[in-house]
Structure formats: C-alpha cells, structure tokens
Amino acid sequence: MANASELLNFIKQDRDLSRITLDAQDILAHLVQMAFKYLVHCLQADLNNYMPAFLDDPEEQNPQRPKIEDVLHTLTGAMSLLRRCRVNAALTIQLFSQLFHFINMWLFNKLVTDTDSGLCCHYWGAILRQQLSHIEAWAEKQGLELAADCHLSRIVQ
C-alpha cells in the first residue's frame, strides 16, 4: 500500500507521465484503496476481539477476559507496521480515524442495543471514560489526538 501510494503520487506529479498513464493511475489508485480497505478490515477484526475490555468491571478479576492493554497493543502494532513500511502520514491518519470510529461505533451500539445490560448508569459511564482515557493518551503520544478527539467524541459525551 505504501509503495503503490508513493508511486501513484510520483506519477501524478510528473508532467510528462501524468498525461500518458491515466489508466495506470486509475488502476493503481484502486489498488491502494483496496489495500487500505483490507487493512482496515483486518485491524477492525483484531480490535473486535478485545472490545469487551472496555466493559470490564474492575471489581471482577478475570484473567481470561480481554484487557484494555490488548486494545492498545493492537493499535501499537498497527502503528509500528505503518511506520516500518513508511506509509504516508495522511493514510496513517485516515486508518486510525477508521479505527477510532470503529471503537466509538462498537461501544455506542453496545450501550444502546443491549438495554438489559445495565450499562447506562453513572458507574459504567465512569469505567468507560477511564478506559477511553487510555486510548486518548495513546493517541496523543502518537500525534493522533485530533483524530481520536473527533472520532471518539460521541462516546465520550
């Protein structure tokens, strides 16, 4: 994805090549979009396994349950991969915007669709806020605080 994106950028910037490679540019752009889509899908599937960590009651100690550290480890692994492959910063921000949106969506849907869970109360609001603060702190260290603030704002509210 990184190499295809960079190549596409170079071709588009070249005065001579940009005019004679329009079909190739379309194909390359489509490939970058598909690679991005598949990467987002894989990372969301990984995150989905650990999302119950947000709703983990600190009073109940269960070593079998996912922990918020698992979510942070998934995000850190994704960031390491993107940096190692030198993915364009704009694509990195877009990817994490998708992941933060996924976290927001999963939690919001859990709160509104699982009415018998008792999650809509001050106690669980405080736990959820504490768990989200770990994600926000991680995002700030990575320079993604704007994306996190934007895409987690609904659930934080």
Amino acid 70: pLDDT: 95
pTM reported for the whole predicted model: 0.90
- Show Cβ contacts of residue 70 under 8 Å, excluding neighbours closer than 6 positions: 49, 50, 53
Q: In the predicted model, what is the mean pLDDT of residues 108-136?
A: 89
Using the predicted structure, report yes or no on whether residue 131 has a pLDDT greater than 80.
yes
The whole-number pLDDT of residue 65 equals 82
> What is the tally of structural domains in the chain?
1
Contacts of 124 (CB under 8 A, 6+ apart): 55, 118
Average pLDDT over residues 78-94: 95
Name the least confident of 18-22, 99-103, 118-122, 151-155: 118-122
**Percent of the chain residues past pLDDT 90, beyond the cut:** 70
pLDDT tens digits for 12-70? 999 899 889 989 999 999 999 999 999 999 999 999 999 999 988 877 877 778 899 99
For residues 22 and 91, is the Cβ–Cβ distance under 8 A? no
Cα maximum dimension of the chain: 65
**Range of 82's domain?**
1-155
Beta carbons of 138 and 76 less than 8 angstroms apart: yes
